[in-house]
Structure 1
């Protein structure tokens, strides 16, 4: 299946570099349009109806998200590009959407193209984009919803509904307030980085907890935490002091 692609990038060098990488190293992809501003991107995409859009997040005339906001009935995949691993990229990760950091790694580019080549459930994809736009509207650095990729598809979860996350080998199990559990094929470290600014803390190699859902801390038996659902969570000796400090600060806010 040949993919028709549009590149939205305001720097000529980056635009041409990505075009050359795609044409030389990615099979069955045709660059049908180039754009360097929000206005030009909206017009080009609406006119050409590509299969995939490589969308720079930071444009001189606005952002890639402005482009998404102004398009109706999105029927293409979006692969975001950026030179900065920043708040916007965290929002993209929360939505389980693809992104590429500049300078673009060839293997990551090829992987992103192949994922775009596989037909997605368009309704689910629209939900991912909606989740992204919702999170971007919130006051930084708060992110309200997270998209979890499971073996069955995607789950869209309110962050404040997560009690804690538990490492299950190379997988992560999410334990939610409604007693549901979700198993995701990503390492706990991935979610530690994503949820750090959402009042989550890695208190043990196996546990990442929502600090707002802590019921009590028990000092005996080496110390452990009781969550609001009465589950017991282990805490590492090296984490106890930081945990107490963070909880004290959280209570004062």
Structure 2
């Protein structure tokens, strides 16, 4: 059983989540529920749960502030429940933190619990990702660090270090400015969600580039771009006009 605490200031949200857990996640045992960050901190210290469902926006102390006030180790799995804006969601994605949008959907909840079970089987503590999330939540999106999952865990990089990303089936090669290449266990579409849209552009179904690292445009049999590391990438015909517009080229 996965021992669990729910922290949410809205009672009806707690009741809805409890019902969904009962219907879809019999392996989850809810130890207690809390309606404030202070209650949540006390409950976590007392019960040492495997998993915490945490509402982002609560009065007096929001979810980020609650985590920041907790002393280490924060060695529980974390799922945020939120109606929050895209900027906060991007901070969560960048930090590899799971979340569920309210109103919570039963099948999505079940999928999130499957991911928790996998993390618990692998003895993967949540602490480093929570620390990264707290740091990211106070930063502009271009300054956030991104958690790249590899076979050993996570590698944290800043968006400026990423030159471009290229798909390889269900995986993505991430090319960095120091000539390193990382193979991560996310498809290109999932990787794109983590990247700041102000500086990254999808130029092909198989590649995303950092606009700051484009060094040259080449026209010929199609459009190609030369990146700062010298690599040449093809631009899809359907992506050409939007890319040229973003680069200020007609």
Assess same fold via TM > 0.5.
yes
Aligned partner of 1:50 in structure 2 is: 49
Which consecutive residues of structure 2, in runs of 5 or more, have no partner in the other structure?
Answer: none
Aligned partner of 2:195 in structure 1 is: 195
Aligned partner of 1:134 in structure 2 is: 135
3-state SS, counterpart of residue 62 of structure 1 = coil
Aligned partner of 1:29 in structure 2 is: 28
Once the two structures are TM-superposed, the CA of residue 63 in structure 1 deviates from its matched residue by 1.8
Change (3 A) 1:11 1:75: same
Change (3 A) 1:115 1:205: closer
Contact 2:172 2:184 in 1 (8 A): yes
Contact 1:200 1:210 in 2 (8 A): yes
- Could you list the per-position Cα deviations for residues 205-229 of structure 1 after superposition, in whole angstroms to 9, with x for gaps in the alignment? 2210001111111123322100011
5 Å matches for 1:1-253?
Answer: 2-73=1-72, 74-84=74-84, 86-117=86-117, 118-122=120-124, 125-139=126-140, 141-248=141-248
Contact 1:144 1:160 in 2 (8 A): no
CA distance in 1, matches of 2:146, 2:230: 24
* Stretch of structure 1 that moved more, 113-122 or 234-243: 113-122
* Stretch of structure 1 that moved more, 187-196 or 216-225: 187-196
Once the two structures are TM-superposed, the CA of residue 121 in structure 1 deviates from its matched residue by 4.3
CA distance in 1, matches of 2:164, 2:201: 9
Contact 1:82 1:100 in 2 (8 A): yes
Q: With CA pairs under 8 Å and 6+ residues apart, which has the higher RCO, 1 or 2?
A: 2
Once the two structures are TM-superposed, the CA of residue 15 in structure 1 deviates from its matched residue by 0.5
Change (3 A) 1:146 1:121: farther
Contact 2:201 2:210 in 1 (8 A): yes
Aligned residues: 246
Change (3 A) 1:48 1:159: same
Which consecutive residues of structure 1, in runs of 5 or more, have no partner in the other structure?
Answer: none
Contact 1:162 1:210 in 2 (8 A): yes
Q: Structure 2 length as normaliser, TM-score?
A: 0.89
Change (3 A) 1:170 1:49: closer
3-state SS, counterpart of residue 202 of structure 1 = strand
CA distance in 2, matches of 1:143, 1:54: 27
